[in-house]
Homo-oligomer: A and B are copies of this chain.
Amino acid sequence: MAKDQKKQLRPKADTPKGFRDYFGADVTERKAMLDAIGKVYELHGFDPLETSAVETVEALGKFLPDVDRPNAGVFAWQEEAVPGGGSGDWLALRYDLTAPLARVAAQFRNDLPIPYRRYAMGPVWRNEKPGPGRFRQFYQCDADTVGSASVAADAEICAMLADALEAVGIARGDYIVRINNRKVLNGVLEAAEVRADQAEDVLRQIDKFDKVGREGVLALLTTGRKDDSGAVIKGVGLTEAQAAPVLAFLTSKGDDNAATLEALRVAVGGSAIGAEGVDELAEIARLLAAMGVTENQAIIDPSVVRGLGYYTGPVFEAELISIPDKNGRKRQFGSVAGGGRYDGLVERFTGQKVPATGVSIGVDRLYAAISLSRVLLREGPVIVTVMDRQRMAEYLKIASELRAAGIRAEVYLGNPKNFGNQLKYADRRDSPIAVIQGENEVSKGSVLLKDLYLGEMLADSMSREEWKAQPTQFEVPRCELVPAVKKLRDEINLRVADLHRQDSL
């Protein structure tokens, strides 16, 4: 009873709901991906910015700008007001990387180069209901140009996004950057004589284009429709004649940019803002071509509806259209990045409109896509086993020699009594090779190298007897340890690559 009570007092070893841990290769490979993206951003002249996780609620704005659900929010707390210490301010964890950029652009407006090209990568936090695959801390990776009204800045972001996707291993043809423009939609609404008070409602409905399709949106824009549950959704109340150009806009993508632009010119009718929007898209298309970006990398596509409510000019989205998995099967992943032009960035702080454009990559989804097709290499360390605790110095020396040759290596530091445990440990560490030196080897001036991968690889293709007969370990002179381990490691890597080739045939 007393023991039970004591047990209850122990804290639970759990991550909070909606948070998770990343181990080993998931950390290093995601980092390698971010490094590759960062290199592309740098090459384009973007400079890194790293802000703190914590902002004042005042600077951040308490709620997400593009989410209107009531329980969507931030993690916030009030500082204790202590004389000379805490200010009594409300503080919060950043919910994206754009809000801190806005604060920085306002705070350092006299020191930053203008235009200011910056990139940022790091975790953001959302106080939302967690769910399967839905976490409350996740990574974003953004690039923005602040202070340039030129559509060249938008074109540059699109070209850079294509470069970044290719840099992390997405093949050309497996992704597409789609570009739309809010001004074109504004022109269409003007041409269709949609009332100003209906515009927001129209935006809400066309946002469902991906889900409900052409007929569904037509119904939503006019008299309404029943959803799958039978509930009636009220229509916006446009006439069919008013809805027609809106639908024409959404479906005006042609075989190439020239055809799409022609269709858009018709859709915007005589609207000046619409014509401006189409001109911008035409200019973006021309600039992308000049940069060598082809239409199977980035294309004008008016069916991109996400973000049209938030952005004020060009809108972009990168979609993975077909990613081969390890067996060569193609899989769809959907959108992995989105962005566009927005003018209100700094205005909250300074009252001045500052033009800005940028993109945010959804790091976790992109990582999931590239993990799907990656070849697993044996990245575990060489394990130097402990046969004789008295010889620990020699084992550490062996590991040091291997490391000096650039080979990842470690000595087994658990209780060495049970040798089986050492091999189990090596297996758990994904180790390719064990180095063994017992009394027998010491007397002969040699070491044993055990190929920890061979048995596993052969097990599928041969009988237990054949498998057991395979020479998985061999002896080398102590002085030839390093070259022998290097050779064996190279052989193992070749074998792994071979196996993968066979798998994907």
Contact = CB atoms under 8 A, between A and B. Distances in A.
Contacts of A425: 113-114
A404 to B, nearest CB: 8
A408 interface: yes
Contacts of A43: 403, 406, 408-409
Q: How many copies of this protein are present in the complex? A: 2
Interface stretch (A172-180, A343-351, A442-450): A343-351
Contacts of A47: 23-24
Contact of A89 (B16, B49, B71, B106): B16
A409 B159 CA distance: 14
A59 to B, nearest CB: 5
A44 to B, nearest CB: 6
Interface stretch (A249-257, A263-271, A390-398): A390-398
Interface string A26-65: 0110010000000000111101111111111011010000
Interface residues of A, number: 101
A150 interface: yes
Contacts of A56: 11-12, 14, 16
Nearest to A136: B54
A76 B77 contact: yes
B291 A54 contact: no
A59 B91 contact: no
B113 A429 contact: yes
A98 interface: no
B22 A414 contact: no
Given A16-B87, A43-B406, A75-B77, 7 more contacts: A11-B349, A14-B103, A19-B52, A27-B50, A44-B410, A54-B137, A159-B400
Interface of A: 6-7, 10-17, 19-24, 27-28, 31, 42-45, 47-56, 58-59, 61, 71, 75-77, 82, 84-87, 89, 91, 93, 103-104, 106-108, 113-115, 117, 123, 125, 127, 129, 136-137, 145, 147-148, 150, 152-153, 155-156, 159, 286-287, 289-292, 348-351, 381, 392-394, 396-397, 399-400, 403, 406, 408-411, 413-414, 425, 428-429
